[in-house]
Structure 1
Amino acid sequence: MRQHQGVMDQPKSLIERERGTLTEEGDRRDCEPTIPCMWDDVMVQGDRTAGVQTPTRHTTAIRDLPEDKSSSAPEDRGMTRAAVSLSSAELSRITSPSARSTDSFLYTPALSGCSGGVFEILARCGGERLRDIYHPHRKKIPTFDFVTTPTRGTVSEWLALLPHFWVVRILDIKISLTSDLSIVSRDLASESITVQSDAEVGSGALTSPCLLFITAVPQICAHEYSSGRANGAQQCEPLIYSPSPVRPNDRAVGLVMEKQMELGAKVKIMFRMKSYAEQNMVRLLEEVFSSSIALTAVRRNMGKSESQMDIMEKSSKPGKRRWTVAEISLSVLLLLVSCALAGLVVLYTSVVKEQSNRSSVSRSSTREGQLFRSNLNNVCTTADCVTAAARLLQNMDKSVKPCDNFYQYACGGWLERHVIPETSSRHSVFDILRDKLEIVLKGVLETENEQDRDAIRKAKTLYSSCMNESLIEQRDSQPLLTLIESIGDWPVASDDWNSTTEEMWSLEDTLATLTARFHKKVLLDLYVWTDDRDSRRHIIYIDQPGLGMPSRDYYFNDGNYKKVRDAYLHFMFSIAKITREDRNLTQDDERVWEEMMQVLELETDIANATSPAEERQDVTVLYNKMTLGELQSTFSLNGFNWTRYIQGVLSSVSVEVQLAEEVVVYSSPYLEKMNDVLSRHSARTMQNYLSWQLVIERVNSLSRRFKDARARYRKTLYGTTVEDAWWRECVRYVQNSMENAVGALYVRETFAGESKRMVSDLIGKIQKAYVETLEELSWMDAPSKEKAREKAMAIKEHIGYPDHILQQSNLKLDQEYAHLNFSEEHYFENILENLKSEAQKSLKKLREPVDPDLWIIGAAVVNAFYSPNRNQIVFPAGILQPPFFNKHQHQALNFGGIGMVIGHEITHGFDDNGRNFDKDGNMLNWWSNYSAEHFKEQSQCMVQQYGNFNWKLAGGQNVSGISTLGENIADNGGVRQAYKAYLKWVEMEGEEPCLPGLDMDHKQLFFLNFAQVWCGAYRPEYASQSIKTDSHSPLEYRVLGSLQNFEAFSEAFQCQKGSQMNPEQKCRVW
């Protein structure tokens, strides 16, 4: 099957159908936060009576409100109540550890020990609705557990997520706990906090310490569970922010009060700060607490940018003499006289210097005012900017230096916050976007609409039949038994297969049936596609087949591969055994095991005959055109009748072939080895193998006991312990089977038409950047550069979706599925109907002209593609979403996201495979010998670079620099072209305002977003599979390899020569 290069690997079902896979110091500007709205007050209210209370209802702070509730929020511009009432049962459910959800904006961990607390937050913010500010896009801000050690960097890291800080004036707090320990706090501006306890506290610590955050920022206000413990101590920490805009480099980022409350002990308040003068600290504290607290400040040296101050309340000591009224009055009088004398001196001096200083002061004030306004205007505070900044900051790990490991720097936070679901073998940004897309598709497929056109109704019927699990269970194995009878039976699950049957059996006819009726390529992969050497016509291709296990390595290697092989054999045995049972045949486990062992031996021989991926990189070597007659004489395959087989396949679409019919053999070495394979195995074993290959793909469409038989194999192969929700399986199947119908539903639901124009504009800019890049290449001569320029500018683009799928008057969509008839009661048969339709649609093309406007993939796909035969790039609607693209987000992020993907796909036209095709999609050598030779030299550098990446997760195997070369060339070229196009955009449009909370310039933001679209984690089992089957390098090395080769990255982050991210030797092709 032909391959369309892309930016990410696709789900297996898509691969089987189309094999499509996505597959100097920089300018720095101070980014000072601004304050778009100020809070008038934030009040924490509660019952003012002392003692412990046990209420029947609990009120917790601002949380992720359900849509139906938030939509009815009052529209007043004043006081907004931001509280949610919860019953005890609801609070227990929501706050349990198992309820933590990445879909929530903020989760509330366990509150055991705090369950008796009652409080609510009332706030007013400059006429803005609190709900709209707090929760603009349903994103989650991460929280951290604070411990009593104030030197941890947690505070500044957490505060970096928040663009605006305000003082919180806490007027009153009352927290009561059901654990017999209560903390009663009145006005924090006066009196100390006391701890009351009716319980005897022994040597053991409280098991459920409570941590309370009171904040005045729009984003967050929540309870948190503290992991810190002190002997018999209860912690409650209000979090307080600075009252004015702060400069990240030289002002306080925030303050944290830590109250270590031991029974009967004084209260110690510790403040964490950054480079803040002592006098300012005292002034700030007095402003916050509105009191004349006597403060003693002790500064400790904490390094260049951090210090710590211990501030103790000064208690009145017994016996200390108080001043009399007369003494106080006399002191005040003396102070006033001194101030008057000092004032006269100052007045005289100021009069003398007034004239000379006036103009200077005026100029200075003007400059300061302009600078202040400039800093305010240099920060973007829109909801999109705040959301983008929060996402970028959440994903980062600032404890890692960007020049040491930029992937860990960019994605460390993401990796820490995301756990691979039990249902998944890999979890990445791509996978999260696909999950969200599937949720959208579930909604539209389950929505009834009388206005639906015929194609849409059929898609919904197919989905409904899949969701009818009770009927699937009721039918059990009956559909499978009917299926195996239609292909000449499954000998191991039958007592009727005998010597007579074997003599009548025909390998050619069985293979033809599998190909034409079930679109199943076993032993041979026959398909119809565009002729590589003539893009105007279709031709028959014959290639080596796929295997039962993911790659040939599973059949020979030890370690995890052997475990998978053993699980695969047990899976084969279990299904054959169940089938015999359901046919009421005598059970003979020893015989079944022996026959399935023979099938595995045959499959191993077939795997051994196939060529590894590293040997199939040069399409010009693979392409071998001959007539049908020449095919018969060259590859006899132990008497195999090629004409009978091919005619048997094409007769299903009424196409006749003659011996002069041309075919392209893509697998000459495989066919040469198959003579020996076929001669070593009996017809019975061969039929068992063919039947098994058909059965294995239908197991998931049967009842639960068949799926359970597959569970051990899947766990060993992928590392997953739980199957996906069945609705997801149904959504994926309908999506892959009826791409355009489902694409129409998705586009109508989510896609903005304006995005097509914006992405098209980006494509044009990056095409020009690629052409300009050609002039930088010393290894390529002028004639070859001109041909490359022509091809780049001739690339055809498909963006979002084909127009006809939304045009109600256009019947093309309905005609595409006119021959399909689905039943809501027969899911299994619906699948077979689809398989037959797909096979016939492909085979019919042999006598049809090539459609140059054909979309090679549907709209509801999170991926992008390049087709060398069409010189076409495709960007489906599914990938045109954050973090890749958002018409409202910074262009640095768009160029670093979808811009890099565009550059990646363009570069596929010039990688080790695409470079063999001209601007019209014909395999034609347009290179000079000089340029071709130097291309190979440049490519070899990357082969060695990526081949040296050792992936510990995959058992310490090295990445294959050969099989991943095409994708690595595309990654390197893509980021280089996107960056060049972005700098050109900045030159024309100017720099954009900084993102809040991010001390990064626009160049660094480009590279940060580029890296973060590749954040992801693998299970070890899937890593072992991916390193052998995926044409892309592992996610981490896609980032590291590309940026290590790019000088502009090292300049943006000032990486020293010879550092990990700025090696001496760099590789570059484009």
Structure 2
Amino acid sequence: MLRKQATNQPAMQQKTRRRGPHFETVSNEEDKRERGGGLGPLASSFLGVVLTLSAIAVGLSVLRYRRNNRDTLDDVGRRSWNTCQSQLCLAHFRRLRDSLNRSTSPCDDFYRFACGAWQPRVSAAQTALRDLLDVAQLDFIRYLETPATSAMTSYDQEGMAAILPNGRATALPNGHPGHQRNRAERAYHFCLQRGGDVAADVVMLREFLANRSLSWPDRATSAPTAHEPLDVLLDLELNWNLGLWFTVRISPPLAQATPRSKVARRLLRISRGIVSSGWKKALDATVSRREYKARVRRFYDALRTNNFVAISDKDVEDLRRDESAIANALSDSANGGQIEMAFPLKQIQKLATPHLTTAQWLTLLNWHLRKHSGIRLTDADSVLATNVRLLQAVDNLLGFFSADTLLYQFAWCLVQLLGWMVDPALPGRPVAKTQSPAENRRADCFWAAQRAFGLAILSGYVLVNYPASVHSAVDNILMTVTQTAIDLFVKSPWIDRESRAAAVDKLRRVNITLWPPDAYLNESVVDGVLKQFPEPGGAGVTMLRYWLDVLKVRRSLIGMKSRQRGTEEDAFLFYSEDTQSQQQALFRYHYFPNMLAVSLHGLRSPLFVEGGGRAVNMGALGAQYAAALSRAFDPRGVLVDGRGSTSALWWGKASYQEYERRAVCHAAGADRVDSFFEGLAAVEIAYAAFNATRSISEGNIRRGLLKRRPQTFLGLSEDQAFFVSFCQASCAREPTDRQRMSCTLPLKNFPVFAAAFTCPVASAMNPSKRCRFFEGTRPEHVAVTAASLRPLVPTTRHK
């Protein structure tokens, strides 16, 4: 009966009916509780209201969290001054957000505020720039290993990266269509194959060493025909692109022949080689003698001959001692401060290598260059030593060690560089980080392919990752910074007219090298060049044999003249950067040719992100570029004019005393940094350029062309984001004093920083006395004015 009546009950009674056969029992129990002092109707209603309000509060909290999270990252285009929408851009801001230590006051320790929680994307990286280079290499390797019919994955490109809760990167497909691998890319995959005739490659490696009077582990017997150490170093660099101690790059003729000279002059640029800071760090990582001995014995067992003599512990210790001494000397020369010098080759003994005569250099250079399409040097050609201390270190080492010791060390270096090609079971090249065997193999094959093919193997990657939109954005930043520096010279009241004119002329003449010529990124042009190289994977061809054959072809093509232009531009096709260099200079100004080289690797997070906004890109990329540009007028730059002449100081006498005072200003801790000048000038120039672009936007807002956006993003104003981005390049796990000060010293001397973070007077980041270069007449608190932005003139690109 109950069930039949329940069918016709209203909704509330139907709900009560759901209690089932215990209906009456439950009602009786409720009555008993009410009579016994239970909750009662009023209390029940109150409890329901409380629960409802709690549910609403929880819901509002969830909505607020989701909204705040969206404001922080996912909806930046409508809700902040930031306009980025791509996955690459969002990933950059996640990393920037996660690097901040908000428990620290920016006015007390800005480095800790900006970098206190920084973590690398690649676990082995210790600094932000090392992390950038490692990500660049991983990104390129992923590009190479993407199947021709599959989408590419990457650490650091649009639509390809996601940041996990732990801050590490994971790859996501970006939908990029597959590409047809060229011959250079196929060579990389051939390298990954671990098979081959180990015995045949061991014989080939021994022959390669013997042809240069080298031998390892056996010591070569001295003979009258043995090669000189300098001869071996030049042969390895010029013919095999294995510059152990230094690299040599020979430019096309710089100008047409003059009436006094029948030959147009060339420029020899000498830079650090493979055995430098990175090699030293890898050697230092082998902390114990036992570990070093185990490494030596692995190579010894693989390469020894049948008539071997057992290697003793003393032999191993001597090998380690000599290798450490050489690596330390070459590393110290690179880290002791850059002293760039340019001089005629006939003065090399006087200025750089007292133990090596000009005749020795010239004879050996021309002997090896005879295979390079007829290139021949004279003592009137110029040498550009990017660091003359390197040449001095080379000269000292060649004079200190015996020829036999040096040749044995050369052989040991080559065995470590090439042994993995001979036998996959051998350790890879010395690198200062720990990787799995598979990762080591990928890195080694990437190194080998890049050494052999240069830009030819990078061309497809460059086209995909640096489209026209990136070209335009980067060019706009660089040109704006250059023009702003010119404007600051024009406006600075303390600079006299003569100095102003000379500085403006020099800045306008700066030759920026960045983008490869379009012809070298043309698929048909690259394929045409690669046809001259052997196809990888031929029957019976081992990895070492193939690589040496490729380097022979490379050597024959360097110096080759372009039929269309009659120049040697094709040589650039084989000159590429080594991302494993531990001291990679992403922005390098060369004083004498007035050239500023910008690395493509610098065009990625944390220095540049497409769509990241003017504050981020100008504070990072713009400031890094401005620092390099400022060397054009630093205390060494004023000795070389825009045409490379060193005949006289180009800064005028009328304001030179004031220039000296500003250039060596020691306010606010500047005396603790050797190269403080460039950081001080960089923040002034970059902020003025940022302010100029902001002035344009403000004008468009007033005219109704743009909508005004909220003032903060990630809790930072645009000015604050600029200064945080300024320091991102200096972030490190265990920062040195120099890394800390490269961030804090320029900013504490820049009053706009203190205003941006409302720092109290006399706080650590708001000192009472400051150094300035462009603004004001004294080193004191001076407000920054917005620089005018003239029509941008395209900068010169290299040929």
TM tier relative to shorter chain: 0.5 to 0.7
- Tell me how far apart the structure 1 counterparts of residues 137 and 247 of structure 2 sit (CA, whole Å): 32
Matching residue's letter, 1:489: L
- Tell me how far apart the structure 1 counterparts of residues 454 and 410 of structure 2 sit (CA, whole Å): 29
How far off its partner does 1:429 sit? 7.0
**What is the match of residue 994 of structure 1?**
710
Matching residue's letter, 2:372: V
TM alignment of 1:149-188, pairs within 5 A: none
Deviation string 1:962-1017 (CA, Å, 9 cap, x unpaired) is 3x557646644553343343443344334851277644433223323333x43643
Would you tell me which structure has more strand in proportion to its own residues?
A: 1
**What is the match of residue 182 of structure 2?**
457
**What is the match of residue 748 of structure 2?**
1044
Match 1:584 to one of 299, 306, 315: 306
**Would the aligned equivalents of 1:463 and 1:731 in 2 still touch at CA under 8 Å?**
yes
2:484 aligned with 1:769: yes
**Would the aligned equivalents of 2:136 and 2:601 in 1 still touch at CA under 8 Å?**
no
How has the CA–CA distance of structure 1 residues 1054 and 679 changed in structure 2, closer, same or farther, with 3 Å as cutoff? Answer: closer
Deviation string 1:278-305 (CA, Å, 9 cap, x unpaired) is xxxxxxxxxxxxxxxxxxxxxxxxxxxx
**Would the aligned equivalents of 1:532 and 1:922 in 2 still touch at CA under 8 Å?**
no
How far off its partner does 1:544 sit? 8.7
C-alpha RMSD over aligned residues: 5.5
- Tell me how far apart the structure 2 counterparts of residues 701 and 512 of structure 1 sit (CA, whole Å): 23
**Would the aligned equivalents of 1:425 and 1:720 in 2 still touch at CA under 8 Å?**
no
**Would the aligned equivalents of 1:421 and 1:427 in 2 still touch at CA under 8 Å?**
no
**What is the match of residue 403 of structure 1?**
107
- Tell me how far apart the structure 1 counterparts of residues 575 and 681 of structure 2 sit (CA, whole Å): 20
- Tell me how far apart the structure 2 counterparts of residues 599 and 633 of structure 1 sit (CA, whole Å): 28
**What is the match of residue 498 of structure 2?**
783
**What is the match of residue 698 of structure 1?**
418
2:542 aligned with 1:821: no
- SS of the residue corresponding to residue 828 of structure 1 reads helix
- Tell me how far apart the structure 2 counterparts of residues 945 and 746 of structure 1 sit (CA, whole Å): 44
Matching residue's letter, 2:445: C
Matching residue's letter, 2:720: Q
**Would the aligned equivalents of 1:437 and 1:860 in 2 still touch at CA under 8 Å?**
no
Matching residue's letter, 2:629: I
- Tell me how far apart the structure 1 counterparts of residues 129 and 328 of structure 2 sit (CA, whole Å): 33
**Would the aligned equivalents of 1:599 and 1:685 in 2 still touch at CA under 8 Å?**
no
2:725 aligned with 1:1009: yes
**What is the match of residue 211 of structure 2?**
486
How has the CA–CA distance of structure 1 residues 841 and 661 changed in structure 2, closer, same or farther, with 3 Å as cutoff? Answer: farther
How has the CA–CA distance of structure 1 residues 866 and 918 changed in structure 2, closer, same or farther, with 3 Å as cutoff? Answer: farther
**Would the aligned equivalents of 1:897 and 1:1010 in 2 still touch at CA under 8 Å?**
yes
- Tell me how far apart the structure 2 counterparts of residues 406 and 1057 of structure 1 sit (CA, whole Å): 15
- Tell me how far apart the structure 2 counterparts of residues 822 and 486 of structure 1 sit (CA, whole Å): 26
How has the CA–CA distance of structure 1 residues 436 and 554 changed in structure 2, closer, same or farther, with 3 Å as cutoff? Answer: closer
- SS of the residue corresponding to residue 771 of structure 1 reads helix
**After the TM superposition, which of the residue ranges 964-973 and 764-773 deviates more from structure 2?**
964-973
**What is the match of residue 783 of structure 2?**
none
TM alignment of 1:27-42, pairs within 5 A: none
Deviation string 1:680-723 (CA, Å, 9 cap, x unpaired) is 65443232123223333324544344217x7xx75xx5577988
- SS of the residue corresponding to residue 623 of structure 1 reads strand
2:238 aligned with 1:516: yes
Match 1:539 to one of 266, 277, 280: 266
Matching residue's letter, 1:926: W
Matching residue's letter, 1:584: N
**What is the match of residue 273 of structure 1?**
none
Matching residue's letter, 2:468: G
Deviation string 1:17-37 (CA, Å, 9 cap, x unpaired) is xxxxxxxxxxxxxxxxxxxxx
- Tell me how far apart the structure 1 counterparts of residues 522 and 285 of structure 2 sit (CA, whole Å): 53
Matching residue's letter, 2:190: S
**Would the aligned equivalents of 2:82 and 2:613 in 1 still touch at CA under 8 Å?**
no
- Tell me how far apart the structure 2 counterparts of residues 473 and 858 of structure 1 sit (CA, whole Å): 30
TM alignment of 1:672-691, pairs within 5 A: 681-691=401-411
**What is the match of residue 435 of structure 1?**
135
2:273 aligned with 1:550: no
Identity rate of aligned residues, in percent? 16
How far off its partner does 1:443 sit? 3.5
How has the CA–CA distance of structure 1 residues 568 and 605 changed in structure 2, closer, same or farther, with 3 Å as cutoff? Answer: farther
How far off its partner does 1:488 sit? 2.3
Deviation string 1:90-132 (CA, Å, 9 cap, x unpaired) is xxxxxxxxxxxxxxxxxxxxxxxxxxxxxxxxxxxxxxxxxxx
- Tell me how far apart the structure 2 counterparts of residues 676 and 429 of structure 1 sit (CA, whole Å): 31
**What is the match of residue 456 of structure 2?**
741
Matching residue's letter, 2:687: R
TM alignment of 1:526-925, pairs within 5 A: 527-529=249-251, 538-539=265-266, 541=268, 546=273, 548=275, 550=277, 570=293, 573-574=296-297, 577-581=300-304, 583-590=305-312, 593-594=314-315, 597=318, 600-601=321-322, 604=325, 612=333, 617-619=338-340, 622-627=341-346, 635=354, 637=356, 641-653=360-372, 655=374, 662=381, 664=383, 666=385, 681-707=401-427, 718=433, 724=439, 726-731=441-446, 733-735=448-450, 737-775=452-490, 777=492, 780-797=495-512, 802-807=517-522, 811=525, 813-814=526-527, 816-817=529-530, 819-824=532-537, 826-833=542-549, 835-836=551-552, 864-866=586-588, 868=590, 871-873=594-596, 879-880=602-603, 884-886=607-609, 888-911=611-634, 914-920=637-643, 925=649
**Would the aligned equivalents of 1:455 and 1:814 in 2 still touch at CA under 8 Å?**
no
- Tell me how far apart the structure 2 counterparts of residues 1058 and 533 of structure 1 sit (CA, whole Å): 56
- Tell me how far apart the structure 2 counterparts of residues 768 and 849 of structure 1 sit (CA, whole Å): 31
**Would the aligned equivalents of 1:860 and 1:878 in 2 still touch at CA under 8 Å?**
no
Structure 1: runs of 5+ lacking an equivalent? 1-47, 50-186, 194-213, 217-236, 254-375, 949-960, 1028-1032
2:194 aligned with 1:469: yes
- SS of the residue corresponding to residue 761 of structure 2 reads coil
How has the CA–CA distance of structure 1 residues 866 and 1047 changed in structure 2, closer, same or farther, with 3 Å as cutoff? Answer: same
How has the CA–CA distance of structure 1 residues 577 and 844 changed in structure 2, closer, same or farther, with 3 Å as cutoff? Answer: same
Structure 2: runs of 5+ lacking an equivalent? 1-17, 20-44, 72-77, 151-176, 259-263, 702-706, 775-799
How far off its partner does 1:1058 sit? 2.0
Match 1:241 to one of 61, 77, 91: 61
- Tell me how far apart the structure 1 counterparts of residues 603 and 120 of structure 2 sit (CA, whole Å): 25
How has the CA–CA distance of structure 1 residues 702 and 926 changed in structure 2, closer, same or farther, with 3 Å as cutoff? Answer: farther
Matching residue's letter, 1:487: R
**Would the aligned equivalents of 1:438 and 1:732 in 2 still touch at CA under 8 Å?**
no
Deviation string 1:514-548 (CA, Å, 9 cap, x unpaired) is 34332344577655247999999653648696584
**What is the match of residue 26 of structure 2?**
none
- Tell me how far apart the structure 1 counterparts of residues 354 and 55 of structure 2 sit (CA, whole Å): 77
- Tell me how far apart the structure 1 counterparts of residues 81 and 347 of structure 2 sit (CA, whole Å): 69
- SS of the residue corresponding to residue 706 of structure 1 reads coil
How has the CA–CA distance of structure 1 residues 798 and 995 changed in structure 2, closer, same or farther, with 3 Å as cutoff? Answer: farther
- Tell me how far apart the structure 2 counterparts of residues 523 and 602 of structure 1 sit (CA, whole Å): 12
- Tell me how far apart the structure 2 counterparts of residues 720 and 793 of structure 1 sit (CA, whole Å): 46
- Tell me how far apart the structure 2 counterparts of residues 771 and 1037 of structure 1 sit (CA, whole Å): 27
**What is the match of residue 371 of structure 1?**
none
- Tell me how far apart the structure 2 counterparts of residues 532 and 514 of structure 1 sit (CA, whole Å): 26
TM-score, normalization: structure 2? 0.67
Matching residue's letter, 1:493: P
- Tell me how far apart the structure 2 counterparts of residues 722 and 596 of structure 1 sit (CA, whole Å): 27
- Tell me how far apart the structure 1 counterparts of residues 398 and 578 of structure 2 sit (CA, whole Å): 42
Deviation string 1:39-71 (CA, Å, 9 cap, x unpaired) is xxxxxxxxx99xxxxxxxxxxxxxxxxxxxxxx
- Tell me how far apart the structure 1 counterparts of residues 90 and 210 of structure 2 sit (CA, whole Å): 62
Number of corresponding residues: 670
**What is the match of residue 412 of structure 1?**
116
How far off its partner does 1:769 sit? 1.7
Structure with max Cα Rg:
1
Would you tell me which structure has more helix in proportion to its own residues?
A: 2
Match 1:938 to one of 617, 637, 662: 662
